[in-house]
């Protein structure tokens, strides 16, 4: 899991909210749920074939593809779908896992880009299951969370206000999550060389990468 700050700047956020202000056609989000997710999904989504939906998806994909951290971490090859989701009071999304394929595209990573500030709504945290338990996440407007599409997650019911997010899925150029993590660590190490980071930190990063590769490649 990786939280990336400021993927959507103020200009993009204003453009998105301006697009949504023009009577944007929200519909019952249950239309896109499959299997058991249909019974636990209670939200609204921007109609996918509408002009506002296409415009916002284009803006967000452009920013994600241009952001160096997102590129290094996700290495996106294709975006399966980007859709705007709205939760109002009483709406939430129970525990579920995303489909392995969406619109014919393999989903390696899911992402949530927050369009509302945390003060705009009560409740509505994105809760992601981890090995040590559940992590509850509410990021600032413009921040994005990327996480494996196989992760169990839910959205707490909103008790007041309105929660707006853009969610989507990425097919990566590197299918294996651990291999992506190794490449991301290498990119960070290379960046630290250019930034003049202390050699102790760089050595620790490189030792960590070496250990990961040894675990993958060495015989028992």
pLDDT confidence bin for 110, thresholds 50/70/90: very high
pLDDT tens digits for 11-26? 999 999 999 987 889 9
CB 155 within 8 A of CB 43: yes
> What is the arithmetic mean of pLDDT over 49-74?
94
Q: Which helix (H) or strand (E) holds 15?
A: helix 10-21
Within 22-136, where are the H helices?
Answer: 51-66, 68-74
Q: For the chain, how are helix, strand and coil distributed in percent, rounded to 5?
A: 40, 35, 25
Within the chain, where are the H helices?
Answer: 10-21, 51-66, 68-74, 177-195, 199-217
Give the model's pLDDT for residue 74: 94
Query: Whole-prediction pTM value?
Result: 0.86
Separation CA 42–CA 211 (nearest Å): 44
Lowest mean pLDDT among 34-43, 152-161, 163-172: 34-43
pLDDT confidence bin for 130, thresholds 50/70/90: confident
Separation CA 155–CA 14 (nearest Å): 25
Separation CA 86–CA 29 (nearest Å): 9
* 192 CB burial (10 A radius; 0-12, 13-18, 19+): middle
Give the model's pLDDT for residue 133: 86
> What is the arithmetic mean of pLDDT over 93-108?
92
Report residue 202 as tokens: 């760089």
Separation CA 101–CA 47 (nearest Å): 20
Separation CA 100–CA 108 (nearest Å): 8
Share above pLDDT 70 across residues of the chain, in percent, rounded to a whole number: 93
Residue 219: pLDDT above 90? no
Separation CA 106–CA 112 (nearest Å): 17
pLDDT confidence bin for 34, thresholds 50/70/90: low
Instruction: Determine if residue 104 is left, alpha or beta; phi over 0 gives left, psi from -120 to 50 gives alpha, anything else beta.
Output: left
Lowest mean pLDDT among 56-60, 137-141, 147-151, 205-209: 205-209
Separation CA 160–CA 99 (nearest Å): 29
CB 171 within 8 A of CB 78: yes
Give the model's pLDDT for residue 196: 59
Report residue 145 as tokens: 């969370």
Give, in degrees to the nearest 5, the angle at Cα 133 between 130 and 135.
70
């Amino acid at each position: 899991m990786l939280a990336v700050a400021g993927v959507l700047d103020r200009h993009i956020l204003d453009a998105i909210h301006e697009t949504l202000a023009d009577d944007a056609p929200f519909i019952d989000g249950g239309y896109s749920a499959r299997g058991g997710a249909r019974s636990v999904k209670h939200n609204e989504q921007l109609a996918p074939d509408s002009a506002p939906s296409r415009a916002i998806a284009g803006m967000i994909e452009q920013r994600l593809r241009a952001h160096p951290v997102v590129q290094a971490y996700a290495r996106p090859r294709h975006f399966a779908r980007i859709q705007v989701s709205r939760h109002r009071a009483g709406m939430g999304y129970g525990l579920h896992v995303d489909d392995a394929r969406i619109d014919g595209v393999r989903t390696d990573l899911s992402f949530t880009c927050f369009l509302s500030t945390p003060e705009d709504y009560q409740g509505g945290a994105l809760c992601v299951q981890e090995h040590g338990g559940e992590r509850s996440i509410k990021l600032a407007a413009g921040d994005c969370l990327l996480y494996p599409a196989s992760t169990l997650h839910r959205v707490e019911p909103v008790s007041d206000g309105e929660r707006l997010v853009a969610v989507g899925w990425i097919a990566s150029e590197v299918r294996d999550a651990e291999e992506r993590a190794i490449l991301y660590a290498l990119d960070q190490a290379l960046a630290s060389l250019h930034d003049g980071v202390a050699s102790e930190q760089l050595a620790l990063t490189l030792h960590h990468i070496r250990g990961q590769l040894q675990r993958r490649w060495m015989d028992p």
